[in-house]
Amino acid sequence: MTVRRTGHQTFIFDQHPIVRSVATVVGPMEGAGPLARDFDIVHADMMLTEKSWEKAERKMLEEACTLAIENAELQKESVDFFIAGDLMNQLTSASFVAEKLAIPHIGVFGACSTSMASLALGALYIGSGVAQHVLTATCSHNATAEKQFRYPTEYGAQKPPTAQHTVTGAGAAVLSNIGDGEGDAITIAAATIGRVIDMGITDPMNMGAAMAPAAVDTITAHLRDMRCNADAYDIIVTGDLAAVGHELACTLLHRHGIHDAAARLVDCGLLIFDRTAQEVQAGGSGCGCSAVVTFGHLFKRMLRGEWQRMLVVATGALLSPLTFQQGETIPSVAHAVAFCRTTRVQQGGET
């Protein structure tokens, strides 16, 4: 298994780490959305019968992790590392779940880009040969995010049409250097670590606009580093730009002359909800958004043979309630992971 760097910020895997299993857990709003059938567990209660929103978020993450390990036909003892993150201060959801799983853990914060940040790091662990199985996961909960970043959930403030609805959901994936048998599998071909971009947006109710330039920067960097055109991918997916950010990203890509990337650009924040029927303003956001849509929905479509190669660019707005109150602008980051659908003829040497 080898990994090497190409260009400035991309690493390529000569032998692709395999996404051995995935698991997704979502809340009621997501369960009422157009992708409901693609999720493993749909909770009808935002509280998950727990005593606080924070506990509910933790429980979702734990369920996703346990299920992913189960789906991988592994024991948690055979998972080498657990890389996870969330939106809570001090990454409490990830840390508390890591304590329960007792797998060596490192927490990562990339706001809503955490899904791909942790996946890229996990793939790097596999690619470098230090690990055989790595569990990566992330989660977000609408109520905990509202509570920490905005207003109490029941507060009747009107949200502007640029606002986004934080997804209640958790997604986990087990990466391995070997798959669990024959058949088609999703593998990781390359990953691009994004630069932090700040284009001067200050409105935390318009994070799509803040994140769009970061997504475009990472897509541009990825194509430059890989020396390929956007048509090398059947689909390019952004994490949670939603309606406003998606349109801005397309505009910027056209301005950069990357028309074929704009043509195949879709956004998880737009896929997860039906904006005409559900009150989500511009669309979905949060760590859970790109995780559950990619793991639950997009991977299934890839395995059905709709696409061979997919680039997922998870976007994160790196603000805190403190910095925006102090009038700072919103820095953003985007990390990209290139997925391939690989047909395996034979696999052996399972441990």
Partner 1 sequence: MSNKKTKNLTPIQQQYTALAASREPKRSVVKNCLRAFVSGGLICLLGEAIRQALIAWGGFTAKTAGDPTVAILIALAVVLTAAGVYDKIGQWAGAGSAVPVTGFANSLASAAIEHRSEGIVLGVGGQMFRIAGPVIVFGTAAAFAVGIIHLIVRALLGGAP
Contact residues toward partner 1 (CB under 8 A) are 51-54, 147, 151-162, 198-202, 206, 209, 212-213, 243-244, 247-248, 251, 279, 282, 327, 329
| All residues at 6 or more sequence positions from 236 whose CB lies less than 8 Å from its CB, including other chains | 219, 230, 261, 264, 265, 266, 310, 311, 313
Name the 3-class secondary structure at 228: coil
Q: How far is CA 164 from the centre of its chain?
A: 16
Contact present, 164 and 171 (Cβ < 8 Å): no
| Cross-strand bridge partners of residue 136 | 83, 173
Name the 3-class secondary structure at 177: coil
Min CB(155)–partner 1 separation in Å: 4
Nearer to partner 1, 159 or 344 (CB): 159
* Count of beta carbons in the 10 Å neighbourhood of residue 231: 11
Among 241, 202, 211, CA closest to 326: 202
Nearer to partner 1, 235 or 250 (CB): 250
Min CB(290)–partner 1 separation in Å: 21
Nearer to partner 1, 2 or 90 (CB): 90
Nearer to partner 1, 201 or 230 (CB): 201
Q: For residue 89, give the DSSP letter.
A: G
Nearer to partner 1, 161 or 181 (CB): 161
Helices (H), the chain: 28-31, 53-71, 92-101, 114-127, 142-149, 207-226, 242-255, 259-263, 268-271, 287-292, 299-303, 321-325
Nearer to partner 1, 38 or 267 (CB): 267
Structure tokens that stand for 154 in this block = 């029941």
Min CB(200)–partner 1 separation in Å: 4
Nearer to partner 1, 191 or 243 (CB): 243
Min CB(80)–partner 1 separation in Å: 35
Nearer to partner 1, 14 or 274 (CB): 274
Distance from C-alpha of 351 to C-alpha of 189, rounded to nearest angstrom: 24
Min CB(48)–partner 1 separation in Å: 14
Distance from C-alpha of 20 to C-alpha of 64, rounded to nearest angstrom: 14
| All residues at 6 or more sequence positions from 52 whose CB lies less than 8 Å from its CB, including other chains | none
Min CB(83)–partner 1 separation in Å: 28
* Count of beta carbons in the 10 Å neighbourhood of residue 286: 33
Min CB(32)–partner 1 separation in Å: 15
Q: How far is CA 297 from the centre of its chain?
A: 12
Min CB(348)–partner 1 separation in Å: 51
Min CB(144)–partner 1 separation in Å: 10
Distance from C-alpha of 312 to C-alpha of 173, rounded to nearest angstrom: 15
Q: Give the strand pairing for 18-26 and 10-13.
A: unpaired
Contact present, 60 and 48 (Cβ < 8 Å): yes
Nearer to partner 1, 152 or 181 (CB): 152
